C-alpha cells in the first residue's frame, strides 16, 4: 500500500465523519424548520456545536448492561455497527484519484458490506435479552434480506450500462457520456428511485423504520443501550445513510464528475444534497406497516428491478446504448 | 524464508478461520455458533482476495451474510423461547466427526502434496471477472443453467415443505 493510498483512506474517513457530525446538526435544524421550530440554537453559533455537546453527554453516561444480557455480544455489537457502516465508505471514490480501495468488484462488495452492517444490529437486539429489542432485530433482518434483492438488481443497471463493476470506472463512464439519471432517463431515473427506496429500507430509515418503531417497540434494538453504546448505534445509522447517499451519487448522479472545480467538492456536495433529501423524506412521511413493507419489496420493487435489468441489457445492444 | 506482510495476514486470517470453525461446532449457544460461522466465512472471503479472486470474495460475503442472518432467524425461531437454551452436541458422534475431518484433511493435503510440482511450475493466471462471466455463459452454459434449475427446484421444495399444514388445523385466515 502506497503512502498516497494511506493518506486518501484517512482523508475519506475524515470527510465522512466530519460530514456525519455536521449532518446530525443539519437534520435537527431541518426538522425544526419543517415543524416551525428553530432547532438547536444554544451551543455555538446557530447551534453548530450541538453534536459535540451530544457526544460529550453520551460519553459521560454510565454504560448499563442488563443482568441477563449476553455480555460479550452486548459490548461488541455497537462499535461493530459503526465500523461496518464506515467500511463501505472506503470503497466509494471521492475523486478520480481519491479512491482508497479502487477495486474491480466495488459494486458487489459495497452491497455485501452494507448487508454485513445488519449482523451487529442483530447481535445487539439478541444480546439485550429484551423482547422489544429481539422483535426489532428480527424485523431488521427480515427487512434487510427482502430489500437486499431490489438493491442488488437496481445497482446492476449502472453496472450493465457502464460495463464495469468498478465504481471509479462507472463514474468515469458517466463523465464521458451522461449522468445516469439524465440519460438514458427511462432506465436511470427509475433505477435511482428504486435504489434510494431499497437503501432507505436497508438503513432502517423512515418510511421503513419498523425495526425501531417507537410506538410499538420502545426503541427496538437500542432499547437496552445507554451512553456511548447507544451513541455508536445512533452514529451508525447516520453513517449508513450518508454512505448510502454517497453510493447512490456515485452510481447514478455522476459521482465526482462536475463542470468545474475540484472533484471531491462535487462528490461531497451531491452526497450532502441527497442526504438532505432523505431527511426531508424522513420528516415528511409516516412509517409503513410491517406487511405493507414486505408487500412493497416483493410485489413491486423486485419485479420492477428485474424489468429494469432486462431493459438495461437490451439497451446496451441498441445503436444508442453502445 | 522471509516473512512478508501478505504472509502475516494469511497466517492471521487462517488462524481466525480455524478458530472460528472450531467454535462453530463447539458453541453451546446456537446464535454464537452462527456468528462464529460468519467469522469463518468472512475470513474465507479474505483468503479468496489473497488468492487473486476478489469477485469470488465479494459474492461469498454477499451470499453468506444473507445466509448467516437467515440462520440466525431460524436459530431464534427453533430454540427455546428465552434464547438461552443449550445445544446438545452428541458425545458419541465426536470421534466419528474427528475421523471424517481427518480423512478429508488427508485427501486435501495429499492432493496438494502430489501436485506441488505442477503448482510451482505454473503461475496462477489472474483471470478477471469478465472472463468468469463470459465462460459461465458460453463454455459452461449448460452446467450453469442446470445448476440454476436445480437450485430453483430445491427452493420450491423447501417452500412446499415449510408450508405443509396439519390437515386437522383450520387454515390461516386470508389476508385482505
Distance (Å) from the C-alpha of residue B137 to the closest C-alpha of chain A? Answer: 14
What lies within 8 Å, CB to CB, of A137 at 6+ separation is A121, A122, A124, A125, A126, A211, A220, A221
User: Phi and psi of B115, rounded to 5°?
Assistant: -95, 15
- The arithmetic mean of pLDDT across residues A170-191, rounded, is 78
- The arithmetic mean of pLDDT across residues A157-166, rounded, is 82
Q: Do A105 and B31 touch (CB under 8 A)?
A: no
Domain ranges in chain B are 5-89, 127-165
CA distance readout (Å), A232 to A77, A169, A236, B59: 9, 33, 6, 28
Please tell me the predicted confidence (pLDDT) of residue A205.
Answer: 65
Distance (Å) from the C-alpha of residue A81 to the closest C-alpha of chain B? Answer: 14
Is-contact A180 A251, C-beta < 8 A?
Answer: yes
Q: Is B14 part of the contact surface with chain A (CB cutoff 8 Å)? A: no
Chain-wide mean pLDDT for chain A?
Answer: 79
What lies within 8 Å, CB to CB, of B73 at 6+ separation is A138, A141, A142
Q: A243-293, pLDDT tens digit by residue?
A: 888 888 888 887 777 777 777 788 888 888 888 888 888 778 777 777 888
Nearest to A155 by CA among B46, B62, B144: B62
A227, three cell numbers: 451512553
Q: Do A115 and B62 touch (CB under 8 A)?
A: yes
Distance (Å) from the C-alpha of residue B64 to the closest C-alpha of chain A? Answer: 9
DSSP secondary structure, chain B, as one string: -PPPHHHHHHHHHHHHHHHHHHHHHH-SSHHHHHHHHHHHHHHHHHHHHHTT-HHHHHHHHHHHHHHHHHHHHHHHHHS-TTS-PPPPPPSTHHHHHHHHHHHHHHHHHHHHHHTHHHHHHSPPP---HHHHHHHHHTTTHHHHHHHHHHHHHHHHHHHHHHH---TTSPPPPPP-
Please tell me the predicted confidence (pLDDT) of residue A227.
Answer: 73
Q: A86-120, pLDDT tens digit by residue?
A: 888 778 877 777 666 677 777 888 888 877 777 88
Please tell me the predicted confidence (pLDDT) of residue B123.
Answer: 62
* Band (A1; pLDDT cuts 50, 70, 90): low
Q: Is B39 part of the contact surface with chain A (CB cutoff 8 Å)? A: no
Q: Which residues of chain B are within 8 Å of residue A111 when distances are taken between CB atoms?
A: 62
pLDDT(B153) > 90: yes
B49, three cell numbers: 482476495
Q: B97-126, pLDDT tens digit by residue?
A: 888 989 999 999 998 888 877 777 666 666
Q: A11-49, pLDDT tens digit by residue?
A: 777 777 777 777 888 888 888 888 888 878 787 788 778
Look at B170 and B134; give whichever has higher pLDDT. Answer: B134
Nearest CB to A104; choose among B68, B70, B128:
B128
How far apart (Å, rounded) are the C-alpha atoms in residues A257 and A178? 10
> Which residue is closest to B61 within chain A, CA to CA?
A112
Examine residue B129 and say whether the peptide bond preceding it is cis (omega within 30 degrees of 0).
Answer: no
Q: Do A123 and B35 touch (CB under 8 A)?
A: yes
* Band (B83; pLDDT cuts 50, 70, 90): very low
Q: Is B76 part of the contact surface with chain A (CB cutoff 8 Å)? A: yes
- The arithmetic mean of pLDDT across residues A160-182, rounded, is 79
Amino acid at each position: 500500500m502506497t503512502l498516497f493510498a494511506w493518506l486518501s483512506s484517512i482523508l475519506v474517513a475524515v470527510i465522512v465523519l466530519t460530514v456525519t457530525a455536521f449532518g446530525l446538526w443539519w437534520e435537527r435544524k431541518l426538522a425544526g424548520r419543517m415543524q416551525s421550530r428553530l432547532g438547536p440554537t444554544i451551543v455555538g453559533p446557530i447551534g453548530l456545536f450541538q453534536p459535540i455537546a451530544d457526544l460529550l453527554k453520551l460519553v459521560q453516561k454510565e454504560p448499563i448492561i442488563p443482568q441477563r444480557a449476553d455480555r460479550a455480544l452486548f459490548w461488541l455489537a455497537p462499535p461493530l455497527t459503526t465500523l461496518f457502516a464506515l467500511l463501505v465508505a472506503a470503497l466509494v471514490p471521492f475523486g478520480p484519484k481519491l479512491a482508497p480501495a479502487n477495486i474491480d468488484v466495488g459494486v458487489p462488495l459495497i452491497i455485501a458490506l452494507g448487508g454485513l452492517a445488519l449482523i451487529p444490529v442483530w447481535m445487539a437486539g439478541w444480546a439485550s435479552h429484551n423482547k422489544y429489542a429481539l422483535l426489532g432485530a428480527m424485523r431488521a433482518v427480515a427487512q434487510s434480506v427482502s430489500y437486499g434483492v431490489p438493491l442488488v438488481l437496481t445497482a446492476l443497471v449502472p453496472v450493465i450500462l457502464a460495463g464495469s463493476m468498478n465504481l471509479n470506472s462507472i463514474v468515469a463512464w458517466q463523465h464521458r457520456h451522461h449522468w445516469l439519471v439524465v440519460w438514458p432517463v427511462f432506465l436511470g431515473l427509475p433505477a435511482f428511485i428504486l435504489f434510494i427506496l431499497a437503501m432507505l429500507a436497508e438503513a432502517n430509515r423512515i418510511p421503513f423504520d419498523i425495526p425501531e418503531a417507537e410506538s410499538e417497540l420502545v426503541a427496538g434494538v437500542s432499547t437496552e443501550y445507554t451512553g456511548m453504546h447507544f451513541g455508536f448505534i445512533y452514529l451508525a445509522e447516520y453513517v449508513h445513510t450518508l454512505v448510502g447517499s454517497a453510493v447512490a451519487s456515485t452510481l447514478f448522479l455522476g459521482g465526482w464528475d462536475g463542470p468545474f472545480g475540484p472533484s471531491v467538492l462535487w462528490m461531497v456536495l451531491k452526497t450532502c444534497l441527497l442526504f438532505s433529501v432523505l431527511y426531508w423524506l424522513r420528516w415528511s412521511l409516516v412509517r409503513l406497516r410491517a406487511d405493507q413493507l414486505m408487500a412493497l419489496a416483493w410485489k413491486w420493487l423486485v419485479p420492477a428491478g428485474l424489468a429494469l435489468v432486462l431493459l438495461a441489457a437490451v439497451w446496451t445492444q441498441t445503436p444508442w446504448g453502445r | 524464508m522471509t516473512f512478508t506482510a501478505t504472509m502475516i495476514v494469511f497466517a492471521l486470517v487462517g488462524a481466525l478461520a480455524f478458530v472460528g470453525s472450531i467454535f462453530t461446532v463447539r458453541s453451546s449457544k446456537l446464535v454464537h455458533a452462527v456468528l462464529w460461522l460468519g467469522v469463518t466465512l468472512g475470513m474465507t472471503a479474505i483468503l479468496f482476495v489473497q488468492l487473486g479472486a476478489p469477485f469470488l470474495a465479494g459474492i461469498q460475503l454477499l451470499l453468506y451474510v444473507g445466509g448467516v442472518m437467515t440462520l440466525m432467524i431460524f436459530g431464534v425461531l427453533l430454540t427455546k423461547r428465552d434464547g438461552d437454551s443449550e445445544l446438545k452436541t452428541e458425545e458419541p458422534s465426536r470421534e466419528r466427526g474427528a475421523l471424517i475431518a481427518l480423512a478429508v484433511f488427508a485427501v486435501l493435503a495429499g492432493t496438494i502434496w502430489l501436485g506441488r510440482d505442477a503448482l510451482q511450475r505454473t503461475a496462477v493466471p489472474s483471470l478477471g471477472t469478465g472472463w468468469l462471466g463470459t465462460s459461465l455463459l458460453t463454455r459452461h452454459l449448460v452446467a450453469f443453467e442446470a445448476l440454476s434449475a436445480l437450485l430453483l427446484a430445491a427452493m420450491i421444495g423447501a417452500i412446499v415443505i415449510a408450508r405443509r399444514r396439519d390437515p386437522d388445523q383450520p387454515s390461516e385466515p386470508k389476508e385482505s
